[in-house]
Amino acid sequence: MSRLKELLSDTAVYGLSSVVARFLGYLLVPFYTAYFDPAAYGVVGLNFAGIVFLNVIFTFGMESSYIRFATEREGSKSVFRTLQTALLSVGTVLAMLMLLGSSWIQPLMSLHQHDADTLYLLLIGILWFDTLSIIPYAELRLVRKSFTYAGFRIANVIINLVLNIWLVAGLGWGIEAVLWGNLVASGLTAAGLWIITRSQLKGRFDTGILKKTLLFGLPYVPNGLGFAINEVIDRFYLNSMSSDAINRIYDVDYTPEDITGFYNACYKLAVFMLLGVQMFRMAWQPFFMKYAAEKDTKVLFGQVFDWFNLVAAGIFLTVGLFVVEIAGLRIPFTDSATLIDSRYWAGLSIVPLLLLAYWFQGWFVNFSAGIFIKDQTSKLPAITLVGAAITIGGNWILVDQIGMMGSASAKVLSYGVMSLILLHYARKAMAVNYRVVRALFIMAVASLLVWLGTESGFHFVESISGRLILLVCGLVFVFFTGKPKHIDQ
């Protein structure tokens, strides 16, 4: 149990930084939805979707390589120096290439309706600074300086938050304020991280290390691109919807940017599950590498999977059953602002599906341990390409038929298939007893309860008291069905 407590402790610290950072960042959602119309917020979503996708290319798997090869501290400084130099060089070259390709990248993000050149330069700057922060952040995680890590994360968000509010509410700027705030925050964060990890730069640049880390990390690029496609390609499909399809599905004269804005705002409510997965992932990688050689590792990893599903089910039931109330929470010290402005509520139906998708993503994170430990990362690209193909195909078929629900459904299918394929390879690498059938049963029951409370049409069941009963029954069922049988001594 002591090792599980260690994982819980690290997860809590990383989680605290993520919770606080996400909470502070989430303060911008009611702010944006109050100040920007759905079409403008849709463009904001497209820009950050582009950043997510391009960030994978800029970092080309070096974060995972650093964690893998800098674990042995004796040579960690040379690994640090080598990878930082490589990221700086490649990031600069890619930034120049983006400038040359601006004429065909800008229209994909609907920048033509705004000051396209300025927004595009800001986007490139954010990518460049974020790239230079990847290895220092990984170093802090690796040496378990979790509070320092948390401090930088929170400071980044506070700077961004303050600048956004000042530029938009104070100076009356438009969506360019969003990118300016992010650029300044990213730049200051990168500078601070370089200063605090500067002792690691005393190593030497080593082409042997570079070759080894590239061989390990490059398979993460298609893997990362696959995840980026799963995360953000839906915005671009929604933004390309025809007026006829929009009118047929929603019976309202929305623009494609409006639909993208609805989706982007309501997508934020899935942050509760995404946050749980991210804080777990941050602690999970260093944890499973530390205990990879223990005799009872297989039992330990199975227990971690069970506990993860208990937490995920609780999040799914709570948010899924009360999504309308959460979206309508009043913001203190404002006249009538809510967590998500009511103009955006047309997208609330996607939230349970997105929660389910991120639950599956958490499975993927769990199952990655054996692949990582056994240096079998070369299997990841094929898995993520399958997921990306499902996402692309699902959006292509479903978006013009059911709009936002089509994108959300494609995401669930993609992450579900990816996690189960990875499970197949993970069990070959390490014979961990993941209780997947039981977890699928829990997931199915939880989904049924959420449907009963939100879509069944039964008045009492859909009332607040009815949904509270469903929540309590669901949590009791989940705990007694899914708790681990074996407790680590």
Task: Flag whether 358 is in a domain.
Answer: yes
Q: Which domain holds residue 413?
A: 1-20+270-489
368 lies in some domain: yes
| Residue 13 falls inside a structural domain | yes
State the DSSP string of 205-234.
--HHHHHHHHHHHTTHHHHHHHHHHHHHHH
Do the Cβ atoms of 108 and 50 come closer than 8 Å? yes
Distance between the two ends of the chain, CA-based, in angstroms?
6
**Tens digit of each residue's pLDDT, the chain (489 residues):** 555 555 556 555 555 666 666 666 667 777 888 888 888 888 888 888 888 889 889 998 888 888 888 877 777 888 899 999 999 999 999 999 998 887 777 777 766 555 677 888 999 999 999 999 999 998 888 877 877 888 898 889 889 989 998 998 888 888 889 999 999 999 999 999 999 998 888 888 888 888 988 888 887 787 778 878 888 899 999 988 999 999 999 988 898 989 999 998 898 888 889 888 887 887 777 777 776 666 767 788 888 899 999 999 999 999 999 999 998 888 776 667 788 888 888 889 999 999 999 999 999 988 988 888 777 777 878 888 899 999 999 999 999 999 999 999 999 999 999 999 999 998 888 878 889 999 999 999 999 999 999 888 778 888 999 999 999 999 999 988 888 765 443
Q: Do the Cβ atoms of 49 and 55 come closer than 8 Å?
A: no
Inter-residue contact 84 to 135 (CB < 8 Å): yes
DSSP secondary structure, 395-407, as one string = HHHHHHHHTHHHH
Domains: count for the chain: 1
Classify residue 253: in a domain, yes or no.
no
Long-range contacts (CB closer than 8 Å, 24 or more residues apart) made by 334-341: 334/30, 337/30, 337/34, 338/30, 339/26, 339/29, 339/30, 340/29, 340/30, 340/33, 340/265, 340/266, 340/268, 340/269, 341/30, 341/33, 341/34, 341/265
Task: Let me know if residue 394 belongs to a domain.
Answer: yes
Q: How many residues does the chain have?
A: 489
DSSP state string for 359-375 = HHHHHHHHHHHHHHHTT
Could you give the 3-state DSSP secondary structure of residue 330?
Answer: strand
Beta partners for 338? Answer: 330
Residues 6+ apart with CB under 8 A from 476: none
Token digits of residue 135: 């290895």
Q: Does 10 reside within a domain? A: yes
CA distance 23 to 312: 19
In a domain? residue 425: yes
Alpha carbon distances (Å) from 455 to 320, 347, 349, 445, 467: 11, 14, 9, 15, 12
The model's pLDDT over 211-268, given as tens digits with 9 standing for 90+, comes to 988 888 887 787 778 878 888 899 999 988 999 999 999 988 898 989 999 998 898 8
Residues 6+ apart with CB under 8 A from 148: 140, 196
Q: State the Cα–Cα distance between residues 119 and 130, nearest whole angstrom.
A: 17
Q: Does 181 reside within a domain?
A: no
The residue type of 437 is V
